[in-house]
Structure 1
Amino acid sequence: MYAMSLGEDGAELRPLEPWRAGEFLAHMDRGREFIGRYIALADAVTDLESARAYLQGYADRTAADTGRIHGIWTDGKLVGGVLFRTMDIARGTAEAGCWLEPSAVGKGLVTRAARLIIDWAVEERGVHRVEWRAAAANEASLAVARRLGMTRDGVLREGSCHRGTRYDVEIWSVLAPEWRAGRKPPRTAG
């Protein structure tokens, strides 16, 4: 098993595999209402069986090279994650996403983790376009897209229905050349 450091605070990014279903469920239970405000993940993972099935679905996507899921740990505790909901290597596209429990908000964890997976997708898998979709009301997720240097492509008006409420969905993206240009250190004058 591998872990990738997310910085000096000891946070780590690790694969979120089916054998971690109990830990994943406990994490969902801690943050269920917060996580579930805009995304269906909290409603999909409600017991050990559904947690295992959810993670197995991503294990199958990993094997098929059509998706990935990683957890974010701080002090040995799962507090959130990032994923590629979809990956189409032949077309060079992927859709990234995230979630976080309240105890981990405001520490830059999602931005740091998303940078790692996007860098991997662009440099290792040859993905040309990475999308980020979020409810227009989800300011925290939209702020991550901005910090990642993404461009707002548009809005799908009432494009999502979650818990009986229709939400506008903003679509943001970054293209591989933009991603690479954004990672380069700034040139110094003189």
Structure 2
Amino acid sequence: MRPWESWVARHSAKSTREFLAASESKWASGDVYNYAIAKDGSLIGMCQTYRGAEPQGRRMGYWLHPAATGQGIATRATAAMVTEMFTLPDVEYLEITHDLSNASSAAIPRRLGFTEVLRDRGTPPAVPSGSGIAVVWRLNRPTPPINGTPCP
């Protein structure tokens, strides 16, 4: 994550404890849902969803240990989170944002049927690998079938 997330440089055991302590109340309020990603009993990553700027939208994110990438794990975890989030009645859309230079993160929303909706030049990149261009992908709630026939 170091190439893409500036907070990693400041990561410590204390910051992990603080994150976990805050996570419980955020889960209870519905503000943030964090999910551990494990393989063979070992933590290899995390995915999360949090309230977006609009009440009907949620943002999603994910990361994996480098040894776990390229195996479809993040895609499967994110797909499961998509399914779970659309069981919530107030969620109309999901968004994933990543830096334009992060091709691995871009592959996940593309595989899951998200549509790229925005490229925004923000502040200068906070990490050396970043381009400073945020790419935003969106997936709208599927339309329920009428009389067993899916709607277009």
CA contact (8 A) 1:154 1:171 kept: yes
1:70 alignment counterpart: 35
1:146 aligns to 2:107 (yes or no): no
1:104–1:177: structure 2 CA closer, same or farther, 3 Å change rule?
A: same
Q: Distance in 2 between matches of 1:159 and 1:173?
A: 22
Q: Distance in 1 between matches of 2:98 and 2:124?
A: 10
- 2:99 corresponds, among 129, 135, 144, to 135
What RMSD in Å do the two structures reach over aligned CA positions? 2.4
Deviation of residue 126 (structure 1)? 3.4
Q: Distance in 2 between matches of 1:69 and 1:112?
A: 15
Q: Distance in 2 between matches of 1:166 and 1:80?
A: 24
1:188 alignment counterpart: none
Q: Distance in 2 between matches of 1:39 and 1:129?
A: 25
Q: Distance in 2 between matches of 1:58 and 1:36?
A: 22
Deviation of residue 91 (structure 1)? 2.0
1:44–1:97: structure 2 CA closer, same or farther, 3 Å change rule?
A: farther
Deviation of residue 166 (structure 1)? 5.4
1:53 aligns to 2:7 (yes or no): no
Q: Distance in 2 between matches of 1:42 and 1:125?
A: 34
* 3-state DSSP of counterpart to 2:134: strand
1:104 aligns to 2:65 (yes or no): no
Deviation of residue 55 (structure 1)? 2.0
Q: TM-score, normalised by structure 2?
A: 0.84
* 3-state DSSP of counterpart to 1:63: helix
* 3-state DSSP of counterpart to 2:108: helix
Q: Distance in 2 between matches of 1:95 and 1:118?
A: 10
Structure 1 residues 60-87: Cα deviation after superposition (integer angstroms, max 9, x where no partner) = 2111111111111111111111101x22
The structure in which a higher percent of residues are helix is: 1
Q: Distance in 2 between matches of 1:55 and 1:151?
A: 32
* 3-state DSSP of counterpart to 1:123: coil
Q: How many residues align?
A: 145
- 1:126 corresponds, among 83, 90, 94, to 90
2:127 alignment counterpart: 163
